[in-house]
């Protein structure tokens, strides 16, 4: 059974969906409990008269990445989706994400981390697949599940770990916490606790990029923004408002839905009238694409297209990545509502093992090379923990810092100091 | 009535009735003659809220609960545990993550005679719905000249929890308390939680019910009257948790616990503090506060939220307007730090009032910032 990655159609007429391959996918009846519909038996659903609209194209059989790609392309090195270097880079990034999150769980249970911690295990393919294609100047906006987005974008593991420990060496000096990872150097725009909050912010970043190119005449400014958010967010008003404006103004943004099917204990199917999120893109005039988010290579292919579109000025894209989180919503979530069969099903589709398998079968890497990467990542994460442990707690005076960029309100003078500190200030000779 | 006196945490030992407060019982007076054993049972705030919701939902079929994770997940903080099984999905509704949407839907239902209880996972999320809380709910009775009343309850945890960062830790008592058309309640103990939530659900006006996540697991003694299914506390009446004569400390929600601990410490130093549990931010029980200040002549207001335009500021003004001549010292205001809540644990502790801060403020109000040598 072939499962083709969904393709884009260039250019996109307003009313069509992205060209999806004609579905050979089995029609899944949402009423029957399939392996992933964990709570369907408790599903209070009003029967649709025209149930053809629910064509949930989740595969019912596990198809390994390599089988699928063999079907697509002839097996010769030059036609593979990635080179060896790229493969190693992707692998390293995903292993870093996984090892880091596992260490977070350990540290949380030892009391070094506290509050709300949301882990990304299982979704690494989405973060790696998209963010590794971005430049440093491109922006990423995320949600509370943002550790791995920050790591993929280039924030050091030490900085993220210290931030989680609440130490002053963290990327936000300990003032933000797990859910608020910001880095202006790496253009990570956070880190938002409220779902849907990051989407308008990301849209604004994309707007800035377009503005700089057209109004400020920085002709080479082709920065792209990628906004990550979940399935629950796709019911929120802010999401729709931003889809509209991004398409209206052709902003260089990619909206990436990490559809892991669950919002804490609320199944996506119980919360959404039409669960196929990619369809919401064409309603606003942008292509909507669905991709298997457990397969980093497929995500990367789709990402290349979407980011390329945005960079060329062709406007936004909505990408729905079907993915899954192996752990609960947060470390405080006992995760009792999800069907163990569903979890087991997705565990077999672990993105890291899938990539490993692909690279072995195509003779891209050898076992020792991957082992070396894993060892290196373990050391990086251990070192990050040590660094965070040894870092100092914030000083008392830090409580009141950073509330304003300009605390006194009179602005910053040409010498770079606050005007109100200028001795001539009160005489009126310091120019305000 | 005897049961009530024994139950109170009372330094002076004077009866409930002489402190100028009355608890209204909605049952017949005959049952008031029963004598109850004091503090026989303990109940957590979580169970108190759950039982209040349960009883109100069974008493009135128009009451329904709507919010995120209230049904199958048994409530994000397990407040609505068991309610889905008991009342079914039509009355305990799991919503998608659309605060503005489901709050608006609740207000619309209330316009037409239903009695929704809207749960916000925390009140920080109520900001996404604040247009509906204020414009559609609070102002409607006024704008329609009494034709449309909105018997809705917005409830959820408010204020700081532990290490949850700036966007999850704000206290909204002052914001909602400044809005005419809303009633704002802040329970502390289990009895408060039960009585005030039942009163709120029965009330024909919009009520904002600010709970506290850290109090959910705390147990308080609860009397048999409070366990009765028609038990209600009056909205707009504060409770004197501890009688005193030297300084009045007003507090609400979790800060009442801290104020009581501070009062214990102050008692050892010879300062007898009167602790008022405000219970109701709007309408604010100005008469109880003023009566108390006229007795003690000193006031310390305690709150967890931001200081500017906070609850303490309003209480101070009320006392200055009504009892200025009785004040022997400036009003002391203990509030949270004027910064968004930091994440680091030591900074967070500094950003929220602690018991020592209340003790210091009370001593300043008593002009005792330097401890005296042991008096007689």
C-alpha distances (whole Å) from A416 to each of A298, A408, A425 are: 49, 14, 15
Which has more pLDDT, B372 or A48?
Answer: B372
B233-277 confidence digits (pLDDT tens): 999 999 999 999 999 999 999 999 999 999 999 999 999 999 999
Global model pTM greater than 0.90? no
Can you read off the two tokens belonging to residue A287?
A: 């292509």
- Chain A hits for B347, CB-CB cut-off 8 Å, are 166, 174-175, 394, 398-399
- B99 catalytic residue (yes or no): yes
Can you read off the two tokens belonging to residue B75?
A: 């409530």
- Chain A hits for B100, CB-CB cut-off 8 Å, are 237
pLDDT surpassing 60 at residue A15: no
Q: Is B128 on the interface with A (CB under 8 A)?
A: yes
pLDDT, mean over chain B: 88
- Chain B hits for A114, CB-CB cut-off 8 Å, are 162-163, 345
- Chain A hits for B101, CB-CB cut-off 8 Å, are 235, 237
Give the residue on A whose Cα is nearest the Cα of B342.
A175
What's the complex ipTM?
Answer: 0.71
pLDDT at res. A11: 40
Query: Residue A221 — very low, low, confident or very high, per pLDDT cuts 50/70/90?
Result: confident
Asked which of A193-207, A249-263, B291-305 is least confident by mean pLDDT, the reply is A193-207
Residue among A238, A232, A164 at smallest CA distance from A198: A238
pLDDT at res. B188: 97
For chains A and B, CB pairs below 8 A equal 122
Q: Quote the Cα angle for A50-A54-A59, to 5°.
A: 145
Query: Residue A429 — very low, low, confident or very high, per pLDDT cuts 50/70/90?
Result: low
Q: Of the ranges A56-60, A253-257, B35-39, which is most confident? A: A253-257
Q: How far is A178 from chain B (nearest CA, A)?
A: 8
C-alpha distances (whole Å) from A109 to each of A95, A101, A103, A326, A331 are: 21, 13, 10, 17, 9
C-alpha distances (whole Å) from A69 to each of A3, A8, A66, B25, B117 are: 9, 18, 5, 74, 52
- Chain A hits for B346, CB-CB cut-off 8 Å, are 166, 393-394
Question: Coil, strand, or helix at residue A178?
Answer: coil
Where are the domain boundaries for CATH 3.40.50.970 in chain A?
A: 16-390
Which has more pLDDT, B91 or A52?
Answer: B91
pLDDT at res. A398: 86
- B56 catalytic residue (yes or no): no
Classified by CATH at the fold level, domain A16-390 comes out as Rossmann fold (3.40.50)
Question: Coil, strand, or helix at residue A119?
Answer: coil
Query: Residue A332 — very low, low, confident or very high, per pLDDT cuts 50/70/90?
Result: confident
Domains of chain B, earliest start first: 42-227 (3.40.50.970), 239-367 (3.40.50.920)
| DSSP per-residue string spanning B202-271 | H-SS-EEEEE-GGGTT-EEEE-HHHHSTT----TT--EEEE--SSEEEEE-THHHHHHHHHHHHHHHTT-
pLDDT at res. A415: 77
Q: How far is A14 from chain B (nearest CA, A)?
A: 28
Average pLDDT over residues A339-351: 94
| DSSP per-residue string spanning B179-205 | -TT-EEE---SHHHHHHHHHHHHH-SS
User: In this structure, what are the phi and psi dihedrals at residue B209, rounded to the nearest 5 degrees?
Assistant: -110, 105
When CB atoms are compared, the residue of B97, B124, B350 closest to A399 is B350
Question: Coil, strand, or helix at residue B43?
Answer: strand
| DSSP per-residue string spanning A328-376 | -SSTT----SS-HHHHHHHHTT-HHHHHHHHHHHTT---HHHHHHHHHH
Query: Residue A215 — very low, low, confident or very high, per pLDDT cuts 50/70/90?
Result: confident
CB contact under 8 A, A178 and B165: yes
Q: Residues B99, B119, B213, B304: which is the catalytic one?
A: B99
Q: Quote the Cα angle for A8-A288-A135, to 5°.
A: 75
Query: Residue B30 — very low, low, confident or very high, per pLDDT cuts 50/70/90?
Result: very low
Mutation pick from A144, A161, A175 vs chain B, by most beta carbons of B within 10 Å, is A175
B31-85 confidence digits (pLDDT tens): 444 444 555 799 999 999 999 999 999 999 999 999 999 999 999 999 999 999 9
pLDDT, mean over chain A: 82
Can you read off the two tokens belonging to residue B376?
A: 């007689």
A144-201 confidence digits (pLDDT tens): 999 999 999 999 999 999 999 999 999 999 998 999 999 999 999 878 888 888 999 9
């Amino acid at each position: 059974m072939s499962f083709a990655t969904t393709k884009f159609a260039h250019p996109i007429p307003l009313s069509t969906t992205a060209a999806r391959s004609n579905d050979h996918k089995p029609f899944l009846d949402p009423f029957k409990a399939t392996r992933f519909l964990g709570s369907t038996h408790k599903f209070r659903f009003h029967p649709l008269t025209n149930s053809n609209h629910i064509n949930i194209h989740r595969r019912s059989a596990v198809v390994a990445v390599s089988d699928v790609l063999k079907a697509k392309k002839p097996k010769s090195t030059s036609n593979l989706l990635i080179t060896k270097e790229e493969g190693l880079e992707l692998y390293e990034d995903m292993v870093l994400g996984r090892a880091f999150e596992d260490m977070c769980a350990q540290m949380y249970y030892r009391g070094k981390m506290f509050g709300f911690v949301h882990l990304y295990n299982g979704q690494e393919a989405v973060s790696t697949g998209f963010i590794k294609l971005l430049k440093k100047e491109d922006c990423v906006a995320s949600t509370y599940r943002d550790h791995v987005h920050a790591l993929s974008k280039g924030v050091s593991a030490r900085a993220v770990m210290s931030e989680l420990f609440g130490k002053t060496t963290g990327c936000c000096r300990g003032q933000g916490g797990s859910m608020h990872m910001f880095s202006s150097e790496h253009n990570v725009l956070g880190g938002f606790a409220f779902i849907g909050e990051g989407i308008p912010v990301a849209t604004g970043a994309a707007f800035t990029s377009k503005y700089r190119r057209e109004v400020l005449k920085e002709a080479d400014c082709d920065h792209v923004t990628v906004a990550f958010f979940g399935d629950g967010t796709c019911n929120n008003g802010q999401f729709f408002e931003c889809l509209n404006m991004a398409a209206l103004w052709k902003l260089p943004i990619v909206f990436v839905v990490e559809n892991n099917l669950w919002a804490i204990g609320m199944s996506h199917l119980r919360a959404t009238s039409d669960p196929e999120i990619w369809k919401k893109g064409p309603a606003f005039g942008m292509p909507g694409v669905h991709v298997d988010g457990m397969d980093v290579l497929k995500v990367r292919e789709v990402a290349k297209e979407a980011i390329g579109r945005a960079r060329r000025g062709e406007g936004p894209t909505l990408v729905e990545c079907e993915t899954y989180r192996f752990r609960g919503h947060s470390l405080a979530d006992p995760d009792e509502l999800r069907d163990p069969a569903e979890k087991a099903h997705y565990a077999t589709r672990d993105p890291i093992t899938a990539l490993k398998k692909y690279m072995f079968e195509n003779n891209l890497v050898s076992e020792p090379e991957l082992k070396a990467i894993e060892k290196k990542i373990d050391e990086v994460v251990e070192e990050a923990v040590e660094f965070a442990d040894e870092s100092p707690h914030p000083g008392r005076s830090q409580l009141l810092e950073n509330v304003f960029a300009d605390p006194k309100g009179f602005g910053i003078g040409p010498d770079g100091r606050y005007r109100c500190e200028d001795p001539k200030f009160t005489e009126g000779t310091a120019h305000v | 009535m005897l049961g009530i006196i024994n139950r109170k945490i009372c330094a002076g030992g004077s009866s409930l009735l002489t402190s100028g407060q009355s608890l209204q019982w909605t049952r017949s007076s005959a049952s008031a003659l029963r004598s109850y054993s004091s503090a026989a049972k303990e109940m957590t705030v979580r169970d108190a809220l759950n039982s209040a919701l349960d009883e109100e939902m069974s008493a009135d079929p128009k009451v329904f609960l709507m919010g995120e994770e209230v049904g199958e997940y048994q409530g994000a903080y397990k407040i609505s545990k068991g309610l889905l099984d008991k009342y079914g999905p039509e009355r305990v509704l799991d919503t998608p993550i659309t605060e503005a949407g489901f709050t608006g839907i609740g207000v619309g239902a209330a316009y037409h005679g239903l009695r929704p209880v809207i749960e916000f996972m925390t009140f920080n999320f109520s900001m996404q719905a604040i247009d509906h809380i204020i414009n559609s709910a609070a102002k409607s009775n006024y704008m329609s000249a009494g034709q449309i009343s909105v018997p809705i309850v917005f409830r959820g945890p408010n204020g700081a929890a532990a290490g949850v960062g700036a966007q999850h830790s704000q206290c909204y008592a002052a914001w909602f308390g400044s809005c005419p058309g809303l009633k704002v309640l802040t329970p502390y103990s289990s009895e408060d939680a039960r009585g005030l939530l039942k009163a709120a659900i029965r009330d024909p006006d919009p009520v904002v019910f600010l709970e506290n996540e850290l109090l959910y697991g705390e147990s308080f003694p609860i009397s048999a009257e409070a366990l009765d299914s028609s038990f209600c506390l009056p909205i707009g009446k504060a409770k004197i948790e501890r009688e005193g004569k030297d300084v009045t400390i007003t507090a609400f929600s979790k800060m009442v616990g801290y104020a009581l601990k501070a009062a214990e410490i102050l008692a050892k130093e010879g300062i007898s503090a009167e602790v008022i549990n405000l219970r109701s931010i709007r309408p604010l029980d100005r008469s109880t506060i003023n009566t108390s200040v006229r007795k003690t002549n000193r006031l310390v207001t305690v709150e967890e939220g931001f200081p500017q335009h906070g609850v303490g500021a309003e209480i101070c003004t009320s006392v200055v307007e009504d009892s200025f001549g009785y004040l022997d010292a400036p009003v002391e205001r203990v509030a949270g730090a004027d910064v968004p809540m930091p994440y680091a644990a030591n900074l967070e502790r500094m950003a929220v009032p602690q018991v020592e801060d209340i003790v210091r403020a009370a001593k300043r109000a008593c002009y005792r910032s330097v401890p005296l040598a042991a008096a007689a």
